[in-house]
Each structure stands twice: as C-alpha cells, then as structure tokens.
Chains A and B, each alone.
Chain A
Amino acid sequence: MNIAIMVVIVMTVIGLIFGLVLAYANKVFSIEVNPLIHIVEDVLPKGQCGACGYAGCMAYAEAVVNDPNVSPSLCIPGKKPIADLVADLTGKAAAAIEPRVAQIKCNNAISESIKKYNYIGVEDCIAASMVQGGPKGCQYGCIGLGTCARSCPFDALHMGEDGLPVVDEVKCTGCGKCSLICPKHIIGMAPIGSHVGVICNSKDKGNAAKKVCAVACIGCGLCAKSCPYDAIKLENNLAMVDDHICIEKCNNPLCLEKCPTGAILPLTEDARKAFVVIKEAAAKAKAEKDAQKAEKAEKAE
C-alpha cells in the first residue's frame, strides 16, 4: 500500500517536473515561423498527394515561401486558381498549368476477360502482378483489384461494374498518384477535353493482341493513316494520340470509324455525336454501294 502511494507520488512529481520544464522550454525556445507559410498552406487543397514533389502541402508551402526558386504553380490538383493565389501571396509569377485528368487505358472488362489463372491472395494489383504478371490474359491490361482507387487522395476513382476503374472527371485533380501506383502503367494523364483516346495499353501486334482481348489495339495503323492532322502515331504497336493537335485542329474524328477493334473511343460529348454522324454516313455510303451493286446485277440479268 505504502509503495503504491510512493509510486503514484514519484511518477506524478517526475511527470510534472518534465511537463513544466517542457512547457517552459517551449516558451523560451519558441521560434517564430513566417505566418505566410500557414496562409499559403490554408490555400492549398490539402490532399497531401505529393504531386508537387514535396512531402505534403505543409512542406510545399514552406518551400514556396522560403525559397525564391520554387515555382508557385507546382500544385497540380489546385490547377490555375490555386497557382494564381499562391503566386499572389508569394509575389512570384505563375506559370501556365495544363489541367489534366486520369485516363484509364484498358477497356477489357474483368468479368469478360480471358484469365491465365485463378488468383487467390491479397486484393491488391501490385501483389497480383508479382505472380506471373497478374491473372489477366492480357499482360498489359488492368488487373482490376482497385489499388489505384484506394490510392486516390481525392476520392475520384472507383471501381465500375465491369471491374475496371472509373474516373470521376469532376473530382479528379490530375495529381497523377494513381498513374504512379498502377503496376501495369495503364493510367495516363490526358489533358481535359481530349476528343478521342486509345483505351488500350497492349504492345502486342495483330493476332497476339486480339487473342486475349476483343477490344485491343492491334497496332494496325489504320487510325494513323486516316488522321488528316498526323495526330496519331504508332509506338511499340500501340497507337498514341497527340491530344494537343487533336483538341486544336480536329472536329471530325475519322479515326474512330477506322479502328477495326474499337480500341479508340470518343471521350467528349461532341466527339460521341460526331462519331454517330460518321457512322451513319458510313452506313449510308455502304448501303448506297450495295444498292448500286444490286442494280448493276439486276441490269446484267
């Protein structure tokens, strides 16, 4: 009993002494931090995504206030408004930032895809991709275990019904965290407003690609040939769209109609409408041709 009381007393006294010393030291050794750092930090979106290259929003705020060489427009989620604000606060000139969103470059639904094997293990794409490159037949495609969706600091990615991730373009800030974490590198960052996108990541050619996925880019190059502005190029048997040329010049996406597998998809409302028009025109032309042929055949008879 005596000892118990002693313990309580000694611990309390020691704790109290240290507490007081620390409190006193906190006063004596306090350092004045530039209040601007806190103001700048308040302005930042606080997703702590690290897209700026610093450990977090606080670290970036400190760097941008203290170091004259750090650009005020490094915050990618904040886009232009935040860059302008930060530039205003720190007295620097904001550089132009191009707003971007994540683009999932795989359209091979998990439920319908061909499987190499049955994966039973940790529900994580990185873990799954370590086992023979993942259970999916296509070695370049989305594994669909949602690692990207879990990594999104802005809740802009979720797994759709077909097992593929879906980007919420309103919420997506373009920080690129998902693009870094995806073990298959199927998430690219595309400028907002791209008309069309090659929704495939397969570097296989022709039959090899088609065997494992019906909507794969087979590297045939028809889209590249059809594009009047040379916006599409083939790289490693995969079509790449130069979004800048596409957005600036093109309002008649011929490439959509040419693609034999449907790997190029319209992304904006306008492009979808244009696609429908092109498709109808093509169908009409085909019907006319057929009619002419039939007529000729009739005459010959």
Chain B
Amino acid sequence: MEYMTLFIGAVVVNNFVLTKFLGLCIFFGVSKNLSASAGMGMAVTAVMTLSSMLAWLVYNFVLIPNGLEFMKTAVFVLLIASFVQLLEMIIKKQAPALYNMWGIYLLLIATNCIVLAVPLEMAEGGLSFLMTVVYAIGSGLGFALAIILMASCREKLRLADVPKSLEGLGIAFILAGMLALAFLGFSGMI
C-alpha cells in the first residue's frame, strides 16, 4: 500500500512538471509532436530510475558514513552527468536503433533539474532502495504523462486559429497553465 501511495503520488498528485514545475525546459522544447515527446518521456523515465538507484547507493554508502550529506547536490550532479554520458556510449554501441530514437534527448536530460530532483528528494525523505526505485519510476511516468498530454494538445492546436500574438510559445504557456490547474484537482487525494 505504501508503495502504491508513493507511486500514485509521484505520477499525478505531485507531478513533477505540472505541480512542482520542474523540467520545464524539455517540457516546452520537445512537446511539439507526439512521437518525440513519447521518446523523451521514456528516456527520462529510464535515466531517472537508473541514476536514482546509483545515487541511492552513493548517498547511503559513501556520503552518510562520512557525514557529508550536505554535499549531496554537487555529488549528484557529477553522478548524473557522468552516468548519462556512460549510458549514451553504451546505447550507441549496443543498440543503435534505440540511440537513433533517444540519442538527442539523452544529452538534454544530463543537466536537467527533474533528474536531479528525484535523488535529492530521495535523500531528504530517507527512502529505502526499493521505495526510491518506485518513486523514480513514478516520477518518470508522471513526466511522460505530462509531456504526452501537452504534445497531443499542441498537435491539435496546430490546426486551431490562434491569435497572432499568442502563436507558438505564448499559447503553449497558457496551455501548460491550464493543464497545471487540472492537475491541481488531484491534490488532497492522498
């Protein structure tokens, strides 16, 4: 039950994009078409899960025993950046098809706040390893949900008669605001 709450909480109630407003750069940048945003959602989920697991290990076995919890931000940044690099190399070699699909997004993710936020929250909440994994997958899916919703709306908007002054990003911001309002309805669910 605890895991379920954590998972649902990460996906909808505390959705990283629409409730906590993290990762907005890729949220606006890659939500122009559905297939790209689905790829981005998957890439973020995968990177977030793997890097959170790694971060949990480093945090619990290196930082805490040495009393260096305050260094977690710097260490996690280093960790995520190198991990994404490593992942990119591995994917490029082992699965070129996957690389063609994800490759361009991976580097965008490397310095993204949403990927850093999950390990930081994990450290603050003192989650166990399994809970961290569940939380990371939930957050990733939450991001994927938000960006796919956004992309489908923006694809529809392409055919709509948007006032000239609001074309492009203007209408996208309004749309994101409305989506965030809708997600506000989930607050208080848990």
Q: Tell me the chain B residues, 50-91 only, with Cβ under 8 Å from chain A.
A: 58, 62-63, 66-68, 71, 74-75, 78-79, 82, 85-86, 89-90
0 or 1 for each of A6-35: is its CB under 8 Å from B? (1 = yes): 110011001100110110011011110000
- On chain B, the residues within 8 Å of A120 by CB distance are none
Cβ of B156 within 8 Å of any chain A Cβ, yes or no, is: no
Contact of B58 among A14, A21, A22, A29 (CB under 8 A): A14
- On chain A, the residues within 8 Å of B92 by CB distance are 29, 31
- Flag if A11 contacts B89 (CB, 8 Å): no
- Flag if A29 contacts B82 (CB, 8 Å): no
- Flag if A10 contacts B86 (CB, 8 Å): no
- On chain B, the residues within 8 Å of A1 by CB distance are none
Closest to B92 in A: A31
- Flag if B79 contacts A11 (CB, 8 Å): no
- Number of B residues near A (Cβ < 8 Å) is 19
Q: How far is the CA of A18 from the CA of B78 in the complex (A)?
A: 9
- Number of A residues near B (Cβ < 8 Å) is 17
Q: How far is the CA of A297 from the CA of B82 in the complex (A)?
A: 98
Q: How far is the CA of A11 from the CA of B82 in the complex (A)?
A: 14
Cβ of A3 within 8 Å of any chain B Cβ, yes or no, is: yes
- Flag if B86 contacts A22 (CB, 8 Å): yes
- Flag if A14 contacts B78 (CB, 8 Å): yes
Q: How far is the CA of A110 from the CA of B167 in the complex (A)?
A: 32
Q: How far is the CA of A7 from the CA of B70 in the complex (A)?
A: 10
Contact of B86 among A3, A15, A25, A30 (CB under 8 A): A25
Known A-B contacts A18-B78, A21-B82, A22-B82; the reply to A10 vs B71 at CB < 8 A is yes
Known A-B contacts A6-B66, A18-B78; the reply to A11 vs B71 at CB < 8 A is yes
Q: How far is the CA of A7 from the CA of B62 in the complex (A)?
A: 11
0 or 1 for each of A96-136: is its CB under 8 Å from B? (1 = yes): 00000000000000000000000000000000000000000
Closest to B63 in A: A10
Best-buried of A7, A14, A19, A22 by chain B (most CB within 10 Å)? A14
0 or 1 for each of A159-175: is its CB under 8 Å from B? (1 = yes): 00000000000000000
Q: How far is the CA of A19 from the CA of B94 in the complex (A)?
A: 21
- Flag if A29 contacts B90 (CB, 8 Å): yes
Q: How far is the CA of A21 from the CA of B83 in the complex (A)?
A: 10
How far is the CB of B116 from the nearest CB of chain A, in Å? 16
- Flag if B89 contacts A15 (CB, 8 Å): no
- On chain B, the residues within 8 Å of A7 by CB distance are 68, 71
- On chain B, the residues within 8 Å of A25 by CB distance are 86, 89-90
- Flag if A14 contacts B62 (CB, 8 Å): yes
- On chain A, the residues within 8 Å of B75 by CB distance are 10-11, 14
How far is the CB of A54 from the nearest CB of chain B, in Å? 15
- Flag if A6 contacts B67 (CB, 8 Å): yes
Q: How far is the CA of A15 from the CA of B71 in the complex (A)?
A: 13
Q: How far is the CA of A288 from the CA of B93 in the complex (A)?
A: 86
Q: How far is the CA of A103 from the CA of B66 in the complex (A)?
A: 69
Closest to B71 in A: A7
- Flag if A22 contacts B68 (CB, 8 Å): no
Known A-B contacts A15-B78, A22-B85; the reply to A10 vs B90 at CB < 8 A is no
- On chain A, the residues within 8 Å of B68 by CB distance are 3, 6-7, 10
3 smallest CB-CB distances across A and B, nearest first, come from: A18-B82, A29-B93, A29-B89
7 contacts between A and B (CB under 8 A): A10-B63, A14-B78, A18-B82, A21-B86, A25-B86, A29-B90, A29-B92
Query: Which B residues are closer than 8 A to A by beta carbons?
Result: 58, 62-63, 66-68, 71, 74-75, 78-79, 82, 85-86, 89-90, 92-94
Query: Which A residues are closer than 8 A to B by beta carbons?
Result: 3, 6-7, 10-11, 14-15, 18-19, 21-22, 25-26, 28-31
Contacts A3-B68, A11-B78, A14-B58 supplied; 5 other A-B pairs, CB < 8 Å:
A10-B62, A10-B63, A29-B90, A30-B93, A31-B92
